[in-house]
Structures are given as structure tokens and as C-alpha cells.
Amino acid sequence: MKLSAFGRKFAGSSGISELMDDLGAALNDNPDLLFMGGGNPGRIDAVQAIFARRLSDMLDDADRRHELLGLYQAPQGDLAFRRELATYLRKHQGWDLGPEHIAIANGSQSAFFLLYNLFAGPMGDGSQRRIHLPLSPEYVGYRDIGLGEEFFSAAAPRIERLEDGLFKYHLQLRSQGLDDDVAALCISRPSNPTGNVIGDDEVHELDCLARQHDVPLIIDGAYGLPFPGLVYAEAAPFWNDNTVLMLSLSKLGLPGARTGIVIARPDIAQAFSRANTVVSLACGTLGPRLLNGMLSDGSLQDLCSTVIQPYYRERRDLAVDLIRSRRGDLPVHLHRPEGAFFLWVWCEGLPMDSRELYRRLKERGVIVLPGNDFFIGTDPDWIHRQECLRISYAGDRETIEAGLKLTMDELHRAYRS
């Protein structure tokens, strides 16, 4: 089989696909594994009940059912939803935008694929451009996204040690003289994998840097602002006409609806939709229709602030307490959990690679993710890359309690070995 550079990424085994295969096999062998590895949102009954009712209302009405199931959407996505979202963002954020700034996608993952490849890769003049990640570790779903090779450049963070065994990653903007081949900057806010939320001042600095280099700043807001708002620190939503804000309905509890949202200057939104038409023809109607009216009547914001955010906050506190109470004198530090639903655990001086720790934990029936693959574009010899774990606290309390007990026990063993 002869394959392009892109095809070759998937023919062999790369770190992450090998890990995913391994995870799938482990779950097949033992469906009772304590799973704290994935990006699945929590199962929140009150949220599911609301969307179930809305869905059943639509299915009971012949015209709405036809609109939901029987029609292709316009290429840029459901106009009523784009209007409602634009009105909401104008009113609550004061952003100067209309429906022409918004494009819908079948999940933000596929939107990233198109957007990144619109900006970076081989250029018309034979040169090559890259997406720059100003703070790596970053979302592992970006890793194999480039149609071309050497698709990313990245900067490692400055590590600030805080009290109570916490630490925080910061941008090292001063040292980031961007190369001429940078096509766009991208940051997840809140961060998957670390739960970091870069501060408003840092976002403004990134915005300035992007403008100086005449490239867009892409903010991946899958967990963030303005919805679902899984942010437990002071942080404001950010957008302007040099920003591409990527949102998703997945972490609201609707990953099955596959709905991503691109908010960008109209020329970018339009180029995106045209590319999306080639790939998908049209976008799914389910996500936009399920949300219909929930932005304008305030019920989405209420659901986020009274149900979804408290759910994750409570689990975050439970997970942090469990780790603290079992840490003893181990040099195990937690990234300050400011958003999303992951704990990022730095096991300083771990006497083995975190992949080995992952294997040992899997043997004992718990799945967490080794940190190595998230460090896209950073120095492979940086020892910190091998010392981190990502642990999801989105699941039920019993899983969190049992999974973290085993994890901490295994960590004590690992440091003794």
C-alpha cells in the first residue's frame, strides 16, 4: 500500500494510536476496569432528562421531526441557531458579530482538522507553515491532524510551584520569538490535559503576539467559555476578529450529537464551511435543534451554573482530597485544577516512565493516561514529559474513590521500587 505523508501516520503505530488500541483491548477483556482515562463527560441525570424531553417533543411533532431528520442543513449550519448564538454573544459578551461569523461542524475535532489544514501545511509558494502551541502539553487530538509533516511548533511552560503540593504552568512568552513559518497560535482554555486556565492577561499577550505576526489566535473552548463553563478560576471569555473561538456541545453532555462551533471573521467562517461541505456535505441538525431557544431564554446558562459546574466542582474536590490524604511524603504534585475535568499529576523523580506506571495500573484494574503523548513538539529528553499522568474525575464517586486509592497505592510502590 502506497501512502501519502498523512496516510503513513495511520498505517504504522504511533504512541497515541497504540495506546488507544491498548485501552480498547483492556476494556474488552475487563469491562469492570475503573476508567479514568477518557474525555467522556460525566453522566448527569438532570442534564440527560432535559435533553431527552426536548428530543421527544421534537419527535412528536411531524414538522419538527422532518426538520430534524429529513433535511440537509445549509453549509454553514442551522441559521436559527447561528442567529440565536450571535445575539447571545453580542448581549452577554459585547462581541461585535452576527450569524455570518459562526459556522457549525460535526464535532470540534473535525473542525480542528479542517481549520488547522486551512492555515498550515504546504503553501502555494512551496514553503511550509506550522501551527504553534504556545503551551505544551496540549490536547492530544491535535497531534496527528496535519496533512503535511512537521506540522507543529511548541513551547514548554514555566513551572510555578505553589503551596499545598500544587503547581501551575505559565506561558513563557518572552522566549517565544515566533518563526516566520508560524500560521496560527492555538491554546486550549481550559486545558486538556492539565486543567490549567491561562489568565486573562496571558490571553491578551497571546492576542498581541498573534497580531504582531499577522496570524490568528485559535482558542479551543471545548470545556470553557462561555459554555459549558467548566472553569473554577477567574477568567473571562475572549474573542475578537483575530481570534477563532472553537466551542463544542460535547462537554455539556452531548458528545453523541457531534456538534462543534467555529466563531471567526466571516471570511474564515466561510472558507471553513466550504471545506466542511467537501468533507461532510452538511452538518448534523441534532445539536443545534436540541439547544434551540436555550440561549435566548437563559436556560442553558442556568443548566451550566446550577447543575453541570457544581457536578464537576464536587468531583474535583473529592479527587484532590483523596490524593492529598494518600500522598504521604511522595513528591507528587497536582496542577492547580482550574478547569475541565482532569487532574494533571506530576510525579517528580518517578523511577519509571509514566507509560510503565499506566501498564501497572491497568494490571490492577484502573485506567489513567500517561502524560507523554500530550507534550506535542517539546524536547523529547525533557524528563518532566515522563513524569505526568492525566486522571479524569468525570465519572461516578465510587469510581473516583476506588481508582484513586489504587493509583496512590501503586505510586507508593513505584517510588519504593
Ligand X SMILES: Cc1ncc(COP(=O)(O)O)c(C=O)c1O
Site string for ligand X, 177-216 (x = CB under 6 A): -----------x---x------------------------
Residue 76 near ligand X by CB under 6 A: no
**Binding residue for ligand X, selected from 99, 107, 228, 339, defined by CB under 6 A:** 107
**Binding residue for ligand X, selected from 109, 153, 280, 392, defined by CB under 6 A:** 109
Query: Using CA of residue 86, residue 91, residue 95, residue 96, what is the dihedral sign?
Result: positive
Site string for ligand X, 256-295 (x = CB under 6 A): ----x-----------------------------------
Single out the residue of 377, 323, 351 nearest to residue 157, CA to CA.
377
Contact 360, 410 (CB under 8 A): yes
Distance CA 227, CA 250 (A): 11
Nearer to ligand X, 350 or 378 (CB): 378
Nearer to ligand X, 107 or 146 (CB): 107
Residue 392 near ligand X by CB under 6 A: no
Residue 253 near ligand X by CB under 6 A: no
Axis crossing angle, helix 309-327 with helix 397-416, rounded to the nearest 10: 30
Query: CA distances (Å), 132 to each of 49, 51, 174, 183, 221, in order?
Result: 41, 37, 15, 7, 17
Query: Using CA of residue 273, residue 279, residue 280, residue 282, what is the dihedral sign?
Result: positive
Smallest separation, CB 249 to ligand X (Å): 7
Residue 248 near ligand X by CB under 6 A: yes
Single out the residue of 227, 285, 287, 232 nearest to residue 257, CA to CA.
287
Task: Tell me the window of 43-51, 87-95, 248-256, 306-314 that interacts with ligand X (CB under 6 A).
Answer: 248-256
Residue 42 near ligand X by CB under 6 A: no
Task: Please name the residue ranges forming H helices in 159-292.
Answer: 200-212, 266-280, 286-291
Smallest separation, CB 163 to ligand X (Å): 28
**Binding residue for ligand X, selected from 136, 194, 250, 280, defined by CB under 6 A:** 250
Query: Using CA of residue 82, residue 145, residue 177, residue 160, what is the dihedral sign?
Result: positive
Single out the residue of 349, 348, 351, 393 nearest to residue 369, CA to CA.
393
Nearer to ligand X, 73 or 250 (CB): 250
Contacting residues toward ligand X, per CB under 6 A = 39, 107-109, 139, 141, 188, 192, 220, 222, 248, 250, 255, 260
